[in-house]
Amino acid sequence: MRDGPPTNLGEVAGAPTYLDRILLAHRAAGAAEARAPEELVAASAAGPPVRGFAARLGAVAATGELAVIAEVKRHSPSKGDIDAGLDPAVVAADYERGGAACLSVLTDREFFHGSPEDLAGARGATRLPVLRKDFTVSAADVHDARAMGADAVLLIVAALDDAELAELHALVLTLGMDALVEVHDEAELARALAVGASLVGVNQRDLVTFAVDTERAERVAAAIPSGVIAVAESGIDGPESAARLAGAGYHAVLVGETLVRSPDRATAVAALRRAPAGLRS
């Protein structure tokens, strides 16, 4: 029997969700492409040297600025194309000029139209640590992330049972990467902390409806222990919302659509980064 919540959230909500369909596709693809453990280990060992993702966020937060994880995102299953033809290297360079602390790159092909090539292109154009933003459901996914150059991996608590979460979190750290453990409420936060998560993302987007609940991150922030790097995700549409989240205790924000759509991405990143200064004025 699996520990934790069911992987198929439709069992709870009564209908299939975006996450249900994505996870089913990823688990099926993983089963169809099963590879020998030694092949996975060799591939990940050949990845480029790791850039410290969590360390970079902590260093920026220590200066009093809000660390910005700027995302390279072509498409959303709920909103359609954002910038289907973007050049990940150009976008990443813009983000670095604006002072982004780290990058996040979508690598899911079917639902977000990303790719490992997008990650490699973005990472190669900058000196910034990069998060592989994808639906990690197996050890193979973790090894693939390291092989393609990821410095951090996203682990979504709602997508994994307790045993999977613990196993994958440990593997990420063993390979020298950081794990951004994503939660949506206090119960998921407790599960993340139980496996030793020291980098926690709180997603304001509801996994059943994909609607953004702007009060979610503020509520959950109160339960995040000191010493844990807190990242707010989704629904951050400018400096005002970034400042609100900084005031709630977040060290970093992960922002995609707002930055990708901006006519001046570097300036948009800089505005988010400096948002907490408005709290002191």
List, in order, residues 6 or more apart from 54 with CB less than 8 Å away: 152, 178, 198, 199, 229
Clarify whether 96 is annotated catalytic: no
88-102 residues labelled b (16+ CB within 10 A) or e (exposed): bbebbbbbbebbbbb
For the chain, what is the radius of gyration of the CA atoms? 17
Of the candidates 44, 65, 104, 133, the residue annotated as catalytic is 133
Of the candidates 44, 104, 138, 234, the residue annotated as catalytic is 234
List, in order, residues 6 or more apart from 246 with CB less than 8 Å away: 66, 253, 275, 276, 279
* Cβ contact 23:135 at 8 Å: yes
Per-residue tokens: 133: 């933003």
CA distance 103 to 152: 10
Of the candidates 138, 203, 218, 241, the residue annotated as catalytic is 203
DSSP 72-130: E--EETTTEES-TT--HHHHHHHHHHTT-SEEEEE--STTT---HHHHHHHHHT-SS-E
Of the candidates 96, 164, 182, 218, the residue annotated as catalytic is 182
Clarify whether 78 is annotated catalytic: no
Clarify whether 257 is annotated catalytic: no
* Cβ contact 177:146 at 8 Å: yes
Q: What are phi and psi of 54, to 5 degrees?
A: -65, -40
Clarify whether 186 is annotated catalytic: no
Clarify whether 117 is annotated catalytic: no
Clarify whether 133 is annotated catalytic: yes
Of the candidates 65, 71, 188, 218, the residue annotated as catalytic is 71
Compute the half-sphere exposure of residue 220: CA atoms within 13 Å on the CB side of its CA.
27
CA distance 116 to 101: 21
Of the candidates 65, 73, 96, 188, the residue annotated as catalytic is 73
Clarify whether 203 is annotated catalytic: yes
Give the active site residues. 71, 73, 133, 182, 203, 233-234
